[in-house]
Amino acid sequence: MRVYNCENGKTILSWCENPEESAIEQAFNLSTLPFVDNPICLMPDTHFGYGMPIGGVIACDGSIVPNAVGVDIGCGMLACKTDINYLETDVLKSILGEIRKKIPVGFSHHQKANVEMMPKIDVGDRKVIGIEYESATHQVGTLGGGNHFIEIQKGIDNHIWFMLHSGSRNIGLKVAKYYNDIAKELNEKWHSVVTGSVDLAFLPIDSKEGKEYISEMEYCLDFAQANRNFMSEIIMGIMYEKTGCGFIETHNIHHNYAALENHNGKNRWIHRKGATSARLGEIGIIPGSQGTSSYIVRGLGNEKSYTSCSHGAGRRMGRKQAVRELSLENETKKMEEKGILHALRGKEDLDEAAGAYKDIDVVMSEQKDLVEIVVKLEPLAVVKG
């Protein structure tokens, strides 16, 4: 762990041994906010983000920062363990084909509204959810694009698993943007000085706007969890039809959210942007990049990190840079040498290739004091969002 001392006496703790300069600069910006407590934490997968580094954790006293939660509110992971230990290649291909038919990816939605899969809510005077609810009934149970994925995996526990990465879809994006814009307007009105970047605009917890954001954010968390559960039910149905398998355990977690937690005897709003809760004994999911290992972990409850850990491998290249610089032939070869049914179809898919990400094994090594490995998972097949 690296330690950076700020001029105002605050400290940045980085579990990433070689963090990029831009992420450290953003962490120093965070340290200037008077309501951000000491320390500011950077996980081993940290990299530059919008306003706050992805892989960042802060504790806020009396205020909440929309961009310290992120635009995909409630984005997270689901992992499910089956009772089978092998899949024939033709069966695996058949499963992938059915997944692609039944789970919309990218900007595609379900034709049918799935109201029964939505978290219950009285939309009432909720500014964004009231407008977006109907559209969201078609988005629940969809994967999305970017770094979202579905993988079929084989664990060192000799079980077949499946894993998926997705969030709150458009409803979370709209909530994030709406309240960040309000926070910027209010901060200007109050003549607040948000050092380094207006992308760290905040809302007081006890303000009308702060309460509204928290209410809508929490619904987005419920929606994101329901979204992953719905896709999981679809995948379970497909796998059962193809193999007759049973399902032993499922874990469903967020990595973009804020929650009121007690640390060191004080209640504060813990913001985890691209970071996962790792309380003592808590099961977590840390995915690799396309074609690399993923991990089921158990939290060690390290209070130095506000009981947090990384949410994945973390990018080492931006999406456009990866498309420009990576070789499709090389990235495809790496997947095919491992026998993985991959999603690299063309140059544009290199934005999520393994070469665009940090080495997941280095990331895991750097957080040995945050989590312990329960199961290591190797990919068999990938569906890319």
- Residues forming the active site: 311
Number of H helices, E strands in the chain: 8, 17
Percentages helix, strand, coil for the chain (3-state, rounded to 5) are: 35, 30, 35
Phi, psi of 207 (to 5 degrees): -80, 160
* 150 within 8 A of 231, measured Cβ to Cβ: yes
The answer to whether residues 341 and 93 touch, using CB atoms and an 8 Å cutoff, is yes
Angle between helices 169-189 and 129-139 (to 10 degrees): 160
> H-helix or E-strand containing 167?
none
Burial of residue 313 (CB within 10 Å: 0-12, 13-18, 19+) is: buried
SS3 69: coil
